Structure 1
Amino acid sequence: MRSISRPRTALLLMAGTLLVLFGSWRLARSRSVQLMGGLVQRIDTSAPVVALTFDDGPTPAVTDSLIRILARHGAQATFFVTGQELAANPALGARLVAAGHELGNHTWSHARLE
């Protein structure tokens, strides 16, 4: 049985490493990667429904107004908050939850999203 030469082994290892690195980079840049659970893009229903979502908060001026407006209309929403804003305004996040809204993760600072 013939063994693979050292240069060929090194070349195969480098090519494999580059392939793994490139695949990891593409996965990290993907907007639709979901490691836990599944992505929900559509729900089949005959009911006339709409999902309200808000991104990048919570910020006091905007979020307080949204809480009041949504309450006035009996509507619920999902707020995709950044960790940085939530850390700066934890009471506002608590008010959102107390008002019956859901919170979703929208990264720490939103800096990398394009």
Structure 2
Amino acid sequence: MKITPVFFIILGSLLCCNGYSQNSKVLTVDKTVEKYAFVNVTKTYERIAEKGYKSIDLFQKLGNAFYSDLNMPKAAKWYGELFAMTTDLDAIYYDQYAKSLFAIGENEKANTIVAKLNNKLSSK
């Protein structure tokens, strides 16, 4: 099989076009990102909650966010607010609330939550 010079010309032109298009997309994305402001959602949720708005979903998100960031005092605070509203929650919330309480030294309260979790799991 004989490869003609036309094949190499076509292949070279395709590679050049592809290379230029990738660079322009990167530059376009960089310029676009500079136009937008980034919002810290956790701080926004926290301000909303501190102004008095209460919802199960809000407290779940706040507790999970601070738990993920290993900010256990705030995680315990928001999980406490969550448990004050309802105890009809998934087992993961009991577990994370208990762990955050253990982390800040509130062992008796954490043991109470663990006992509630065990009762919840054994009743299923």
User: Please, what TM-score do these two structures have when normalized by structure 2?
Assistant: 0.27
More helix by share: 2
Where relative contact order (Cα < 8 A, 6+ residues apart) is larger, the structure is 1
Larger radius of gyration: 2
User: Please, what TM-score do these two structures have when normalized by structure 1?
Assistant: 0.29
